[in-house]
Amino acid sequence: MKCKSLLLGLALAVAACGQAPQQKSGLPVYLDDAQPLEARVEDAFSRMTLDEKIAMVHAQSKFSSPGVPRLGIPEIWCTDGPHGIRAEVLWDEWDQAGWTNDSITAFPALSGLAATWDRDLSRLYGKSIGEEARYRNKTVLLGPGVNIYRFPLNGRNFEYMGEDPYLAGEMVVPYVEGVQSNGVAVCVKHYALNNSEVNRHTANTIVDDRTLYEIYLPAFKAAVQKGHAWSVMAAYNLYNNEHLCSNEVLLDKVLREEWGFDGVVISDWGGVHNTLQTARHGVDLEYGSWTDGLTMGKTNAYDSYFLAAAYKAAIEKGEIGTEELDARVKRLLRLIFRTAMDRTRPFGSQTSPEHYAAARKIGAESIVLLKNEGAVLPMAANPKRILVVGENAVKMMTVGGGSSSLKAKLEVSPLDGIKARYPEAEVVWERGYVGDVGGEYNGVSTGQDLRENRNAATLIADAVKAAVGADYVIFIGGLNKADRQDSEGLDRVQYGLPYGQDAVIEALAEATDKLVVVNISGNAVAMPWVEKVPAIVQNWYLGTQAGHSLADVLSGDVNPSGHLPYSIPVSYDKNPVQTERQYPGILRDGTIDGMPVLDMEYTEGIYVGYRWYDQHGGVLFPFGHGLSYTTFEFGEPRLNKTSMTENGSVTVTVPVKNTGSVKGAEVVQLYIADVESSIDRPAKELKGFAKVLLEPGQQAEVSFTIDKDALSYFDAGKHAWTAEKGTFQALVAASAQDIRGTVAFELK
């Protein structure tokens, strides 16, 4: 610290000797945060040498890149991930650094956040996780993820915000604003078309422009233009035969030119594969999974990065100019001035009571009640005996899953949450099945020993025996964060539940009529037992307060209000991705950047999620579905006028009444249908939603404003958004398949 202070003092002294215009503060422009941002950027840039510029555009450690020590400009420090601040690792290894003060609050996975359909909760989430990042003095939070849920085998779907671009876009904006209010930059990822984990470095996505703009780009655009995100992460895969980290179309033409993005593009770790193409059209900052960005085994080799020594050599040889380098250095300086050099940044906090409360609230409001025949839920106030079955009732879920793995200070298991809520009841746990007995990832360990000696038949028999006389039997299973489950790097290998869980559920359904199945996952799963089970709950990876959030909902302390952010098909063969060409792709002859390439073609086009199921059927639980412990009645929707011009709008208003006996929240959804379209369009598309909280008997009016944007499709020939004149319908709904009212209007 003393050496850094001396360097800063020297820099200030040198600057004060006439190198820059002096302010009343006595500081040079770039150090005076009262000056306009761009003036500071230009002033700092004008003082830098070529070596200092080259140093800034690539990593110096696993998660940091250099500033300019001579000028007192600090380093950039990044951190995973979107659900909590990652534990510190060694300088150039993935092994743990062994800190004792880097245990954090684990927040619910973003699939759960999306299931809240609540913009205010998204802002609370962003503000809270941003405070934890700021407390650890991080510059960039590597998240949130907004890649579209294209099909239910993607190992990383749990990190994303569902299948619909409008929902993802609306939910990401307040998250971005919340994080950045702490002086910490988000890094919205993974831009773009990174919708599966298998072959993610070598998959060349083939997608038409209309599908690209209507489905896969809107959430990123919202984060950039509405949320004003300060950084974006380029993905691993290829588009248009170019890796995303050096992609001229998506980085230069779309992100920087069309959307006006003035922030920093950061590579995914090891995502850069060449120097000249990346220097001309690529990322601003190169990071790597290993110290040369590509391979294991080298140490202290950061000069081997593509945007390091090779970049400088290309400039000195005249193979490329400095215009591109200068632009990316200015973007990096802009990021630093917005974050680490903003002296008004809050101090932040970590594992505070407020953060635990936020995690618990978000978790509870994310849980989706899929089915509740016979009003099995909520549970009675004073049950005598509760049987909890399933490995996921006790398995810690904050460790594992790839880069979102966390070192949580606390994780309340579902079993412990139920015990805490019902201290007077006899709460018994039976395992039921054996799934993943591991509990370590990159040196973070749960400390759990989940090894089991009983065989599958005995486990089921023991669970069935324990069900006798139980007031409630709660099966808690689903997926986990092991490889080929919900995890980075590999996709799932089956749509059905793993580890023989279906047999356990079937046996319990025969033994009791008080069975509640709780599925913990970030992906849809097959439910062949759906007709035999009276109550089904979709849970998520809820982090630190997971058990309390679940117990809050099961007990009725919190009335469930979550709605599905994706569709759950009856079986895998009903989803839109079926052919090898669609996934995992067809291996082509030749290489790109010296790597084999698989062409993955999105032949389903714009028909993703409910857009597909509306035409083809096969849905078990539709997008937007979610039950409550109360009931809601929708009145007739009405319009303020029956026609609109291109520059105008119409407003649709619908009364909503709580007709039940308990307080609850309903998600009112607005879909738009183009009745007279001359081109192929989905039956309907989500264009609005509002979550309304009502007391028993209370009624409120919910209004949506519909403008031309809500009516438009992307015309690839014109490269423009277009709305055709004619008749449209506004559909007010409780889910994609539960339409409560329809009104028609005309676009003149």
Question: C-alpha angle 611/617/619, rounded to 5°?
Answer: 90
Query: Per-residue confidence at 81, pLDDT binned at 50, 70, 90?
Result: confident
Structural domains counted in the chain: 3
Secondary structure (3-state) at 343: coil
Mean pLDDT of the chain: 94
CB within 8 Å of 359: residues ≥ 6 apart: 105, 106, 107, 108, 128, 542, 543, 544, 545, 549
Say if 31 falls within a structural domain: no
Query: Per-residue confidence at 10, pLDDT binned at 50, 70, 90?
Result: very low
Look at residues 557, 588, 613 and tell me which one is the last residue of a structural domain. 557
Give the mean pLDDT of 317-327: 97
Give the mean pLDDT of 694-698: 98
| Of the candidate ranges 26-35, 71-80, 528-537, 727-736, the one whose mean pLDDT is the lowest | 26-35
Tokens of 248: 């001229």
For the stretch 445-453, contacts whose Cβ atoms lie closer than 8 Å and that sit 24 or more positions apart, written own/partner, are 445/399, 446/395, 446/396, 446/399, 448/394, 448/395, 448/396, 450/391, 450/394, 450/395
Query: Per-residue confidence at 20, pLDDT binned at 50, 70, 90?
Result: very low
pLDDT at 350 over 80: yes
My answer on whether 122 and 250 are in the same domain is yes
Secondary structure (3-state) at 638: strand
Q: What is the DSSP string of 681-733?
A: --S-EEEEEEEEEE-TT-EEEEEEEEEHHHH-EEETTTTEEE--SEEEEEEEE
pLDDT at 7 over 50: no
Give the mean pLDDT of 599-627: 98
Say if 106 falls within a structural domain: yes
Place of tokens 């997926």: 479
CATH number at residue 697: 2.60.40.10
The pLDDT of residue 294 is 54
The pLDDT of residue 15 is 39
pLDDT at 270 over 70: yes
pLDDT in tens, 368-399: 999 999 999 999 999 999 999 999 999 999 99
Residue 707 to residue 321: CA distance in whole angstroms: 45
My answer on whether 65 and 206 are in the same domain is yes
Say if 678 falls within a structural domain: yes
Look at residues 497, 522, 557 and tell me which one is the last residue of a structural domain. 557
Say if 576 falls within a structural domain: no
Say if 246 falls within a structural domain: yes
In 444-514, where do the E strands start and end?
444-445, 472-478
| Of the candidate ranges 1-10, 240-249, 295-304, the one whose mean pLDDT is the lowest | 1-10
Catalytic residues: 268
Contact 411, 546 (CB under 8 A): yes
pLDDT in tens, 126-142: 999 999 999 999 999 99
**Containing domain of residue 464, as a range?**
367-557
My answer on whether 309 and 383 are in the same domain is no
In degrees and rounded to multiples of 5, residue 368 shows phi and psi of -110, 125
The pLDDT of residue 27 is 86
**Helix ranges, 561-703 (H):** 610-616
Look at residues 524, 557, 590 and tell me which one is the last residue of a structural domain. 557
Say if 586 falls within a structural domain: no
Residue 227 to residue 223: CA distance in whole angstroms: 5
My answer on whether 131 and 213 are in the same domain is yes
The pLDDT of residue 630 is 98
Residue 177 to residue 174: CA distance in whole angstroms: 5
Handedness of CA 130, 112, 558, 412 (dihedral sign): negative
pLDDT at 12 over 50: no
- Relative to beta strand 649-658, strand 632-634 is antiparallel
Secondary structure (3-state) at 250: helix
Give the mean pLDDT of 653-669: 98
CB within 8 Å of 735: residues ≥ 6 apart: 563, 564, 622, 623, 624, 625, 626, 669
My answer on whether 334 and 445 are in the same domain is no
CA distances from 111 to 156, 339, 363, 544 (A): 10, 28, 11, 16
Query: Per-residue confidence at 25, pLDDT binned at 50, 70, 90?
Result: low
The pLDDT of residue 93 is 81
Place of tokens 């993974």: 190
Q: Is 556 exposed, middle or buried (0-12, 13-18, 19+ CB in 10 A)?
A: middle
CATH number at residue 472: 3.40.50.1700
My answer on whether 165 and 54 are in the same domain is yes
Query: Per-residue confidence at 91, pLDDT binned at 50, 70, 90?
Result: confident
The pLDDT of residue 21 is 43
pLDDT at 80 over 70: yes
Give the mean pLDDT of 648-652: 97
End-to-end CA distance of the chain: 67
My answer on whether 260 and 157 are in the same domain is yes
Q: Name the pTM for this structure.
A: 0.95
CA-closest candidate to residue 244, choices 215, 217, 205 = 205
The pLDDT of residue 26 is 79
Burial call 670-697: b when 16+ CB within 10 Å, e when fewer = bbbbbeebeeebbebbbbbbbbbebeee
CA distances from 440 to 79, 159, 268, 395, 399 (A): 19, 20, 23, 12, 7
pLDDT at 637 over 80: yes
In 514-618, where do the E strands start and end?
515-520, 535-539, 568-569, 586-592, 595-601
My answer on whether 387 and 495 are in the same domain is yes
Give the mean pLDDT of 567-596: 96
The pLDDT of residue 11 is 41
My answer on whether 262 and 399 are in the same domain is no
Say if 572 falls within a structural domain: no
pLDDT in tens, 155-194: 999 999 999 999 999 999 999 999 999 999 999 999 999 9
pLDDT at 258 over 60: yes
Tokens of 618: 């096969």
My answer on whether 381 and 469 are in the same domain is yes
Specify the higher pLDDT residue, 442 or 390. 390
CA-closest candidate to residue 395, choices 486, 458, 461 = 486
Tokens of 92: 């150039």
Give the mean pLDDT of 597-608: 98
Query: Per-residue confidence at 19, pLDDT binned at 50, 70, 90?
Result: very low
Give the mean pLDDT of 201-224: 98
Say if 607 falls within a structural domain: no
My answer on whether 248 and 388 are in the same domain is no
Contact 387, 471 (CB under 8 A): no
pLDDT at 42 over 60: yes
The pLDDT of residue 23 is 55
CATH number at residue 193: 3.20.20.300
My answer on whether 670 and 548 are in the same domain is no
